[in-house]
Structure 1
Amino acid sequence: MAFLYYLKEFQTLVAGAVGFAGVIATLAHNASVSRNQRAEERAHERNTLRAALLAELKINRDAIRENLDRVKEGAYDKAAGVLVPTDSIDDVYRAFLPQIGLLPEDDASKVMTAYLSMEAHIARLYLIGSVSGEVSQYVKLTGESISMARDMQERLLEPLGLAIDALQASSAQNTGTRK
């Protein structure tokens, strides 16, 4: 009986406490939902970044392999030399560079090493070749500079391969854990 008396006497306080607890519970739930939604958004951004970089790195690797095959087959006029492109395919990398931190540290390191290696490769091409007068996006290589460029391109395949392997492993790992 005393309980009912106190309940009636302090009903405003009890209603206020229950209402306040409801507001706090709602805020906590909304914060949890918001955190989960943000985590899903970041995972989506990470997967998009990984897929785009992976595609671009594969394009670069395939282009280098194609150039190497042409040089190895001698599919060029030895007297005239060979034109090697100096425009790097790095639009995705440059567009997403501010988001590179979304990737795991090891993946980001390998991706950056691959792209910086490509930039260094282009700079070395200018050192061993001559800018073609007719087409400015190419360096003309003749004689010994052709074999030097071939060796440089073969060495460039390693950092590209490491970055591709890292991104594919992360992608497979992420796909395997998500249901």
Structure 2
Amino acid sequence: MVDLGTLQEFQTSIVGIIGFTGVILSQLLNGWLARRREISSEIRRRAAIMAALKAELSIFRDAFARPDADQLPQEGGICIVHVLERSATPDLMRDLGLLSDNILDRVLYALLTIDAVRPNASLYASEVSDTHLTFDRNTWPIYAKIVNNVAKQLDEVIELLDRERC
């Protein structure tokens, strides 16, 4: 056994070693807890981004699937289409890096496709404004086919987002 005199001699050193060990252990625990909190926050952010992407892509898919190439306007009639613009996804662009490479590739392609619809459809529109495009009997089927194809592409991306969340 250690005698009391020796313990008194090294009392300060023993307390220092115990205190220093406590500080080191608490720093390690703090780091571990902070990392877990960061991972949890990243998972929640990723889920929120995917939900916002899915919602906006679903809105565009539904809007683009609606036009029917076979429902032509009456002779001399026109079809007026409201121009849709992305509202949620432009603010998410800096956070898209949280997505996996496969999803990121497909989502970016879908967003670029959505952005290309208006300029491409404008080539066939008889009237173009900031808020709408007007199509006549001859150009309506072309527009409908363009957006219907985009709707199919968006549907695939939405399904991919659904599978990834599971």
- What's the counterpart of residue 72 of structure 1? 70
User: How many aligned residue pairs are there?
Assistant: 166
Distance (whole Å) between structure 2 residues aligned to residue 57 and residue 169 of structure 1: 15
Aligned to 2:25: 25
TM-score normalised to structure 2 length: 0.90
Structure with the largest fraction of helix = 1
Give yes or no for contact 2:78–2:134 (8 Å, CA) kept in 1. Answer: yes
* 1:13-162 → structure 2 map (5 Å cutoff): 13-68=13-68, 71-74=69-72, 76-88=73-85, 90-132=86-128, 136-162=130-156
Q: Which amino acid aligns with 2:50?
A: R
Percent identical pairs in the alignment equals 23
State the superposition RMSD in angstroms: 1.9
Moved more, 19-28 or 149-158: 149-158
Where does the alignment leave 5 or more consecutive residues of structure 2 unmatched? none
For 1:13 and 1:73, how far apart are their aligned partners in 2?
A: 90
- Mapped to 1, the partners of 2:94 and 2:30 lie a distance apart of 29
2:80 aligned partner, one-letter code: L
Higher relative contact order, chain-length normalized (CA < 8 Å, sep 6+): 2
Which secondary structure does the structure 2 equivalent of 1:72 belong to? coil
Unaligned runs of 5+ in 1: 173-179
Judge conservation of contact 2:70–2:141 (CA < 8 Å) in 1.
no
> 2:64 aligns to what SS in structure 1?
helix
Q: What TM-score do the two structures reach when normalised by structure 1?
A: 0.84
